[in-house]
Homo-oligomer: A and B are copies of this chain.
Amino acid sequence: MPGPLNGIVVVDLTRVLAGPFCTMLLADLGAEVIKIERPDGGDDSRAFGPFVQGESAYFMSINRGKKSATLNLKHPQGKELLQALVAKADILVENFKPGVMDRLGLGYAALSALNPRLIYAASSGFGQTGPYSDRPAYDLIIQGMGGLMSITGPDARHPTKVGSSIADIFAGVFTTIGILAALHARAKTGRGQLVDVGMLDCMAAILENAVARYVATGTDPQPIGNRHPSIAPFATFTTADGAINLAIGNDELWKKFCGLVGAPALADDPRYATNPLRVQHWADLEIDLNKILAGRTTAAWLELFQAKGIPSGPINSISQVLADAHILARQMLVEVSHPTAGPMKIPGVPIKLSATPAEVLGPAPLLGQHNAEIWGARLGRSPEAIATLKSQGVI
Contacts and interface: CB of A to CB of B under 8 A. Distances in A.
A114 to B, nearest CB: 16
Interface residue range, chain A = 35 or more
A150 B349 contact: no
Interface string A246-269: 010100000000000000000000
Interface stretch (A69-77, A211-219, A286-294, A377-385): A211-219
Contacts of A48: 209
Interface string A146-164: 1111111110001111111
Interface in A295-321: 306, 311-321
Given A214-B319, A351-B174, A355-B185, A158 B147 contact: no
B200 A147 contact: no
Interface stretch (A34-42, A93-101, A130-138, A386-394): A130-138
Q: List the number of copies, as a whole number.
A: 2
A319 B145 contact: no
Nearest to A149: B315
B147 A152 contact: no
A177 B316 contact: no
Contact of A201 (B200, B225, B350): B350
Interface in A157-198: 158-166, 169-170, 173-178, 180-185, 187, 189, 191-198
Given A174-B351, A317-B150, A187 B187 contact: yes
B202 A326 contact: no
Contact of A318 (B128, B150, B160): B150
Given A196-B353, A200-B327, 14 more contacts: A3-B181, A4-B181, A56-B212, A61-B209, A129-B329, A130-B326, A144-B314, A145-B315, A169-B206, A173-B174, A193-B353, A201-B352, A205-B332, A214-B318
8 smallest CB-CB distances across A and B, nearest first, come from A151-B163, A180-B180, A193-B355, A4-B185, A57-B212, A57-B216, A152-B163, A201-B350
Interface of A: 3-5, 8, 17, 25, 29, 48-52, 56-58, 60-62, 108, 126-132, 135-136, 138, 140-142, 144-154, 158-166, 169-170, 173-178, 180-185, 187, 189, 191-198, 200-217, 220-221, 223, 225-226, 228, 230, 234-236, 243, 245, 247, 249, 306, 311-322, 324-327, 329-330, 332-333, 344-356, 358
